[in-house]
């Protein structure tokens, strides 16, 4: 078994911004602290970028784009570099997994099994896809040839959250680069480390200087500067719905850049008594809310169970809560680690307090102190929740499950849709007609039937309603990072 604690003593951190292929301090010289939420130990002092740094990064990205060194490189060349980058991510899997776990508090087992190989797979997929994307010839009268091409946009800014730092960056950076754009990536201030390492590996893979830049820093400053920049052609964001709306405003008040949003969720998990494997449904329901401390945009945080099996199902979940007791994230057997920071822990606990006053707390709801950090919250279940309660409406982004019950399929669909969000849903049933009726009715981007969190490079990912617009992953994500151009030739 790997000794991750021992490895952690030897790991080094990049802590400066990466602009035009160079490590640079922030223009102001300011830094901010990156702490391990599992222990509160200081990991690194990171460059605090602001408007001036963003200007430099965008200028470098623009210069690289205009030079054609990447934007006019053949698809074959771009493929070679991105596939090599995927391979380098795999070669540095342990290092990247450790960086991710130290920075986020998520279990090392999850970083090793999902975050890092998933990110590598995304670079591989988009690298391999780009030389298979064709343009169109429109149907016109003889004597005319109308070509519809997909052109790279120019400078794409990617602003990403802290829950899947490398993976969310990969979902945006990989297709944006594959399409020939230059990129400025801003990681969340809580989690800068893997984004910085990614930029370095990209250069090692052969990506020319200036094509991928990373500015570290806070949302209100560096993030806003990207959102308002007149020379950023497209803004791709993953994060909260609240901040997603800011980006729409920044765009409206600057250059009308397209803004692509992957925002919050409050995903319903519908369990019917005609599901023939109730144990599998319970395993998935537990995973769906407690994996990665519930800090998952698609977390199945609203469990809608048919009334006649509700008590039995809640008992099954309570048993599974034992497997998710929080522990040291560097222990490979830990299934739930630390919450990302004190502020988020306080937010989760305040929702739990709020929930206690209206619903029945039947499991967890406690804060634990481990290794000197109090960022640990036990797996929590509220029973007797109704959809008007705050704990059923708002995204908690923690290990807190709200259990609601229903009698009829139509009632289940109505409750499921009664949300400002529409990211994902799960259905557990062996009745095909029911599943198809619900697939028609549910207004969400992804429906997982008799499974949980169906996410893959081969299918689009994104939301309806205030969960956002546009889609990450699959060939559809090229829609975000390219523009259509018609060339009409008369002969
Ligand atoms: P957040 O919205 O607070 O921050 C996301 C990013 O935006 C960070 O880089 C942050 O620095 C930046 N930012 C914050 N305030 C800003 C401002 N005023 N102007 C410009 N930039 C600003 O989100 P978070 O707390 O990092 O992540 C959790 C949220 O992300 C949850 O709502 C979750 O649902 C969402 N999320 C969505 C998906 C998805 O694909 N739909 C995936 C992962 C996370």
pLDDT computed for residue 123 by the predictor: 98
451 is catalytic: no
Contact, 207 vs 231, CB < 8 A? no
Residue 489 to residue 471: CA distance in whole angstroms: 33
Mean pLDDT of 412-422: 98
pLDDT tens figures, 428-476: 999 999 999 999 999 999 999 999 989 999 999 999 999 999 999 999 9
Q: Name the CATH code of domain 268-457 (choices 3.30.70.360, 3.40.309.10, 3.30.1330.30, 3.90.340.10).
A: 3.40.309.10
Q: Which of 157, 164, 240 to mutate to test the pocket of ligand 1 (most atoms within 8 A of CB)?
A: 240
Following DSSP, what letter does each residue of 297-330 receive, concatenated? TT---EEEEEHHHHHHHHHHHHHHHGGG-B--TT
Q: Return the DSSP state at 94.
A: H
- pLDDT at position 386: 98
Confidence bin at 313 (pLDDT 50/70/90): very high
* Residue predicted with more confidence, 1 or 404: 404
Is the CB of residue 184 less than 8 Å from the CB of residue 61?
yes
Ligand 1 centre to CA of 262 (Å) is: 9
Mean pLDDT of 394-415: 98
What per-residue confidence (pLDDT) applies to 1? 57
Residue in the block written with tokens 């490079």: 457
pLDDT score of 57 more than 70: yes
For 115, half-sphere exposure in the C-beta direction (CA atoms, 13 angstrom radius) is: 30
Q: What are 420-430's pLDDT values in tens digits?
A: 999 999 999 99
C-alpha distances in Å from residue 240, one per residue of 12, 245, 264, 416, 479: 30, 9, 5, 20, 22
Q: What is the mean pLDDT of residues 121-143?
A: 97
pTM (2 d.p.): 0.97
Contacts of 383 (CB under 8 A, 6+ apart): 314, 359, 360, 362, 403
Given a contact cutoff of 8 angstroms between Cβ atoms, the answer to whether 288 and 400 are in contact is no
Q: Under DSSP, is residue 37 helix (H, G, I), strand (E, B) or coil?
A: coil
Nearest to 115 by CA among 269, 296, 267: 296
Work out the mean pLDDT of the chain and round it to a whole number: 98
Catalytic residue among 48, 100, 189, 262: 262
pLDDT tens, position by position, 278-310: 999 999 999 999 999 999 999 999 999 999 999
Overall average pLDDT of the 11-16 stretch = 97
Ligand 1: centre distance to CA 70 (Å): 29
Number of Cβ atoms within 10 Å of the Cβ of 414? 13
Ligand 1 center–CA 445 separation, angstroms: 19
327 Cβ contact partners less than 8 Å away, ≥ 6 residues apart: 333, 334, 335, 336, 337, 370
Mutate-to-test residue for ligand 1 from 192, 239, 460, highest number of ligand atoms within 8 A of CB: 239
**Ligand 1 centroid distance, CA of 158 (Å):** 11
Beta strands in 215-341 (DSSP E): 234-238, 259-262, 268-271, 302-306
Element (H, E) at 123: helix 116-129
Nearest-CA residue for atom 10 of ligand 1: 219
Distance separating alpha carbons of residues 288 and 301, to the nearest angstrom: 7
CATH topology of domain 4-263: Aldehyde Dehydrogenase; Chain A, domain 1 (3.40.605)
State the catalytic residue, choosing from 189, 297, 363, 395: 297
DSSP letter at 114 equals: I
pLDDT at position 192 over 60: yes
Is it the case that residue 2 has pLDDT exceeding 90?
A: no
Locus of tokens 């319970």:
282
Report the alpha-carbon distance of residue 81 to residue 330 in Å, rounded. 32
Dist. CA 206 → ligand 1 center (Å): 30
Q: Alpha-carbon distance 207 to 179, whole Å?
A: 13
Which residue, 427, 426, 424, 414, is CA-closest to 468? 424
Domain-wise residue ranges, the chain: 4-263, 268-457
Predicted confidence at residue 356, as pLDDT, reads 98
pLDDT at 35: 98
Residues within a 6 A CB radius of ligand 1: 159-164, 168, 186, 188-189, 218-220, 223-224, 227, 238-240, 243, 246, 262-265, 297, 395, 397, 423, 463, 467-468
């Amino acid at each position: 078994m790997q000794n991750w604690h021992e490895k952690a003593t030897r790991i080094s951190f990049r802590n400066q911004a990466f602009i035009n292929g160079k490590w640079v301090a922030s223009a102001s010289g300011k830094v901010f602290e990156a702490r391990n939420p599992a222990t509160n130990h200081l990991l690194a002092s990171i460059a605090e970028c602001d408007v001036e740094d963003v200007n430099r990064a965008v200028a470098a990205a623009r210069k690289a784009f205009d030079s054609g060194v990447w934007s006019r490189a053949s698809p074959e060349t771009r493929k070679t570099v991105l596939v090599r980058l995927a391979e380098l991510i795999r070669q540095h899997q342990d290092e990247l997994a450790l960086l991710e776990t130290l920075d986020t508090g998520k279990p090392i087992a999850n970083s090793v099994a999902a975050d890092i190989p998933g990110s590598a797979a995304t670079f591989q997929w988009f690298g391999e896809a780009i030389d298979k994307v064709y343009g169109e010839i429109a149907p016109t009268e003889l004597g005319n040839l109308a070509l519809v091409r997909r052109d790279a946009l120019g400078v794409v800014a990617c602003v990403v959250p802290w829950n899947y730092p490398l993976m969310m960056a990969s979902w945006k950076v990989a297709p944006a680069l594959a399409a020939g754009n230059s990129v400025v990536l801003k990681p969340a201030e809580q989690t800068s480390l893997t984004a910085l390492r990614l930029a370095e590996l990209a250069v090692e893979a052969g990506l020319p200087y200036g094509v991928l830049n990373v500015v570290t820093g806070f949302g209100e400053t560096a993030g806003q500067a990207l959102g308002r920049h007149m020379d950023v052609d497209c803004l791709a964001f993953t994060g909260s719905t609240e901040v997603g709306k800011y980006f729409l405003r920044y765009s409206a008040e600057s250059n009308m850049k397209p803004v692509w949003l992957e925002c919050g969720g409050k995903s319903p998990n519908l369990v019917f008594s005609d599901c023939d494997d109730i144990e599998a449904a319970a395993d998935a329901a537990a995973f769906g809310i407690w994996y990665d401390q519930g800090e998952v945009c698609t977390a199945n945080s609203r469990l809608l169970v048919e009334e006649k099996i509700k008590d039995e199902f809640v008992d099954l979940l309570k048993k599974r809560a034992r497997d998710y007791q929080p522990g040291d994230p560097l222990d490979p057997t830990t299934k739930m680690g630390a919450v990302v920071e004190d502020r988020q822990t306080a937010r989760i606990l305040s929702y739990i307090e709020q929930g206690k006053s209206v619903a029945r707390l039947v499991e967890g709801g406690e804060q634990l102190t481990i290794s000197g950090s109090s960022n640990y919250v036990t797996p929590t279940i509220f029973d007797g929740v109704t959809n008007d309660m705050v704990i059923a409406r708002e995204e908690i982004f923690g290990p807190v499950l709200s259990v609601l019950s229903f009698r009829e399929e139509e009632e289940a669909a109505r409750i499921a849709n009664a949300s400002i969000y529409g990211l994902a849903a799960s259905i557990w049933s062996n009745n095909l007609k029911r599943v198809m009726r619900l697939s028609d009715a549910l207004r969400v981007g992804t429906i997982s039937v008799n499974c949980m969190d169906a996410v893959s490079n081969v299918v689009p990912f994104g939301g309806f309603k205030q969960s956002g617009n546009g889609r990450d992953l699959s060939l559809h994500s090229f829609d975000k990072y390219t523009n259509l151009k018609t060339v009409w030739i008369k002969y």
